[in-house]
Amino acid sequence: MHRITNTILALRGLSSGVWVIATLFVISLILVLVRQPEQEGDLQFWVFSPEHAEMYAPLIEEHDASHGVKLDMTVMSIAAIQSRMMSGFFGGLPTADLIEVEKAVAPQAFMGPVDAIGFHDLTDLLLEEGLLTQLNEPSLSPWSVDGRVFGLPHDVHPVMLAYRADITEAAGIDLTLAETWEEYFRMLRPLMEDKDNDARPDHTPLSFWYTNQDLIETLMLQGDGQLFTPSGQPVIANERNAFLLATIVSWCVGPDRVAIDINEWSASGHQEKVDGLAIGYIAPDWMCSIWKMHVPGLEGKLKLMPLPAFEPGGRRTSVRGGTMLGIPKTTQQFDRAWDYAKLLYTSPEVARQLYREVDIISPVRSLWDDPVYNEPDPYFMNQRKGRMYIELAPGIPLRPSSPYNKQAAIDVRDAALNLAEYANRNSVYNAEDLIPEAIRLLDRVQARVEQRMSRNAFAAEDLAAGDGEAQ
């Protein structure tokens, strides 16, 4: 008996911290244990966008009811989808039966030989069901490897220029007349005066910066810059790329710079948009909904126009971002998953909602005649912006599906940064004079990408034969 008393006495001497933590342990253990595991459905579906999920929910419910199946939809961040998908593909952990994959993470899924890709090859099915011809062709390119399609495209994401029409029109400038970037910048020169004496122009023509990898990629694609051949060979160090890189970097350097780095996502950046620090913004269709949500104050002050081209007669649009729906090879129920995929990605109701809710136009060409795209949009001074985007949709540039594209694009961004530093250091601000240095920097990128590609010790036949499983 006195041993127990002794123990109690001894324990009483322990500090309060120990008791607090012990209590927390007991409480949290109980909470973790009583937590009800979610009811598992027959199929799992991962989505990264809450807006998408909201649109899909009623359709899924209806389909579930009529087919006697249950599909669980889980909203996860892009980062979470990426890490789960990759640890699934790498480590054989269970993944979902359907995964919505954002372009930023897709290349990793396409790494390695075609046979090792974790998604089902949908090409033959798409052909059989006649879907392939209905889809906007350039929309397939990011999800294809060697001509095989591994996901249903969700979107087209053509790009226009959103500009502060309230400011330009007050100044009597008609920007729609600007056909090239050069003309565009020249027309806006008068607005760059520093009337409020804060040592920077009151309005800078374009929101763009040499550190923004996405926008660099978008602009280089617009100008037909090419990082990889269709068969996946890197062709980064070419003259066209050097010209484009030098041109867009020249916008951001020197005393007469015409671009400003406004943060695209932060609240401070949104405030600067309201303040009119920049006139023009590179706007893919999905960006419209982001602006509506985060910069409501600009309603009725913006207009859209096709991008000014790099040369007269050049391409007036580009592409940015994108999503696909893939079916991992680990699924036990391919046919059911495929049914859901078609329902969610090709039905007119979803397409209509997709446009109404998040301003995204469908890649299914047969749906493009839908009147929803003709609705005037009050946020953009009642422009019929859906129609405008659709007119540009067939002309968006093709994107390489090389798994090395993402890293190459990052390296090109670094080259842009180095070029800007070179320009500032040597006070060389003219695009033409920057080209030699741009070529030198792109040569370096090319070498790096080649090195990275040659590093892959997994030969395709090894993996196909299962020899890669050395362990």
Strands 148-149 and 144-145 come out as: antiparallel
Q: Which is nearer to another protein, 9 or 171 (CB)?
A: 9
Which residue is listed with tokens 């010790």?
457
Q: Which is nearer to another protein, 49 or 139 (CB)?
A: 49
Question: Of the listed pieces 69-77, 122-130, 184-192, 356-364, which binds another protein according to CB under 8 A?
Answer: 69-77
Q: Using CB under 8 A, which of 64, 72, 74, 347 touches another protein?
A: 74
Distance CA(192)–CA(182), nearest Å, equals 15
E strand residue ranges, 307-372: 323-326
Question: Of the listed pieces 57-65, 124-132, 148-156, 463-471, which binds another protein according to CB under 8 A?
Answer: 463-471
Decide: is 10 part of the binding site for another protein (CB under 8 A): yes
Could you tell me which of 253, 231, 221, 240 has the C-alpha nearest to residue 421?
253
Q: 384-423: which residues touch another protein (CB under 8 A)? A: 410, 413-414, 417-418
Site string for another protein, 201-240 (x = CB under 8 A): ----------x-----------------------------
Q: Using CB under 8 A, which of 112, 230, 314, 394 touches another protein?
A: 112
In angstroms, how far is CA 443 from the centroid of its own chain? 27
Q: Which is nearer to another protein, 127 or 274 (CB)?
A: 274
Q: What is the b/e burial string over 314-350, where b = at least 16 CB atoms within 10 angstroms of the residue's CB?
A: ebbbbbbbbbbbbbbebbeeeebbbbbbbbbbbbeeb
Q: Which is nearer to another protein, 187 or 415 (CB)?
A: 415
Q: Which is nearer to another protein, 211 or 238 (CB)?
A: 211
Distance CA(276)–CA(256), nearest Å, equals 18
Q: Which is nearer to another protein, 84 or 316 (CB)?
A: 84
Decide: is 57 part of the binding site for another protein (CB under 8 A): no
Q: Which is nearer to another protein, 168 or 241 (CB)?
A: 241
- Hey, which residues does 206 pair with through a beta bridge? 259, 280
Could you tell me which of 242, 270, 298, 255 has the C-alpha nearest to residue 419?
242
Q: Is 167 exposed, middle or buried (0-12, 13-18, 19+ CB in 10 A)?
A: middle
Q: Which is nearer to another protein, 180 or 271 (CB)?
A: 271
3-state SS string over 74-88? EECCHHHHHHHHHHH
Q: Is 392 exposed, middle or buried (0-12, 13-18, 19+ CB in 10 A)?
A: buried
Which residue is listed with tokens 């600067």?
272
Q: Using CB under 8 A, which of 78, 132, 167, 235 touches another protein?
A: 78
Decide: is 185 part of the binding site for another protein (CB under 8 A): no
Decide: is 35 part of the binding site for another protein (CB under 8 A): yes
CB 393, min distance to another protein, A: 20
Q: How many CA atoms lie within 13 A of 180 on its CB side?
A: 11
Could you tell me which of 8, 7, 5, 83 has the C-alpha nearest to residue 46?
83
Question: Of the listed pieces 52-60, 110-118, 345-353, 364-372, which binds another protein according to CB under 8 A?
Answer: 110-118
- Sequence-separated (6 or more) residues with CB below 8 Å from residue 81: 46, 48, 99, 100, 101, 102, 105
CB 173, min distance to another protein, A: 26
Q: Using CB under 8 A, which of 1, 31, 40, 172 touches another protein?
A: 31
Decide: is 297 part of the binding site for another protein (CB under 8 A): yes
CB 344, min distance to another protein, A: 20
Q: Using CB under 8 A, which of 321, 328, 397, 400 touches another protein?
A: 321
Site string for another protein, 238-277 (x = CB under 8 A): -----------------------x-x-xxxxxxxx-----
Site string for another protein, 437-456 (x = CB under 8 A): ------------------xx
Q: 324-353: which residues touch another protein (CB under 8 A)? A: none
How many residues contact another protein, by CB under 8 A? 79
Q: How many CA atoms lie within 13 A of 412 on its CB side?
A: 33
